[in-house]
Amino acid sequence: MKILAHRGFWTEAPEKNALIAFERALHEGFGIETDLRDAQGRVVISHDMPTGGEMPLDDFLALCAAHPQSRPLALNIKADGLQTLVREALARHRIDDAYVFDMAVPDALGYLAQGVPAYTRCSEYELSPPFLEAAVGIWLDAFRGEWYTMANVADWLAQGKQVCLVSPELHKRPHLAFWQQLKDAGLHQQASLSLCTDFPTIARQFFHGQN
């Protein structure tokens, strides 16, 4: 199982989606989840509406290109119409283990049409994930509580889909019981599974016995 650092490996809230959090995640070999928006014709790293001074996507990808062991890159699309800019940036930096997710369905179809790897989304509010056949993976979320079973995850993996699980602490819920279910089911041994977490080093120790 791969571990994705949610908005980078941050230790205090102001570091989220900031250079220091990305450098720390890359140094530790974690994948990264981050957020993309547009600002004056450029794609930038920003969860909320840009106010100026955000890191350009090109700078982020250039940093990641120097650390090819730190993958995948999960690009949370927060604005419509960025397909060409994102595709060209990924090609420019030769990033081939990245995917986009969380965009509206019409916008997602644009990424698929341009050959950009995309994850569909599944949650208790989206029980039938759209464009599942064309998607390379599933972003599996649980807003109010874990509604799916480990057997569901295993079935999607058996269908050849990559799966990224949203760890409960991202929704301000305790995480250890869920992590234990994953470990007891042996799913942490699956290379096609990822966990997006705010606690990447703790997760690595818990699942893989590495500090």
Give the mean model confidence (pLDDT) for residues 110-132. Answer: 97
Q: Are 191 and 3 in contact (CB under 8 A)?
A: no
pLDDT of residue 210: 74
**pLDDT for 62-73, tens place per residue?**
999 999 999 999
Q: Say yes or no to pLDDT of 121 above 90.
A: yes
- First-to-last alpha carbon distance for the chain, in angstroms, is 16
Tokens of 67: 């650390």
State the residue for tokens 């949370």. Answer: 76
Give the mean model confidence (pLDDT) for residues 101-121. Answer: 97
pLDDT of residue 207: 97
pLDDT band (50, 70, 90) for residue 12? very high
d(CA 114, CA 134): 12
**pLDDT for 163-207, tens place per residue?**
999 999 999 999 999 999 999 999 999 999 999 999 999 999 999
Name every residue whose Cβ is closer than 8 Å to that of residue 119 and which is 6 or more positions away in sequence: 74, 99, 100, 101, 135, 136, 137, 138, 139, 162, 164
Give the mean model confidence (pLDDT) for residues 22-48. Answer: 97
pLDDT of residue 154: 97
Q: Which of 103, 102, 99, 96 is nearest to 81 (CA)?
A: 103
DSSP state of 187: G
- Count: domains in the chain: 1
Can you give the CATH number for the domain in which 181 is found?
Answer: 3.20.20.190
pLDDT band (50, 70, 90) for residue 46? very high
pLDDT of residue 151: 97
pLDDT of residue 11: 96
Domain containing 46 equals 2-208
pLDDT band (50, 70, 90) for residue 15? very high
pLDDT of residue 80: 97
3-state secondary structure of 196: strand
Average pLDDT, the chain: 97
Q: Say yes or no to pLDDT of 146 above 90.
A: yes
Q: Say yes or no to pLDDT of 211 above 70.
A: no
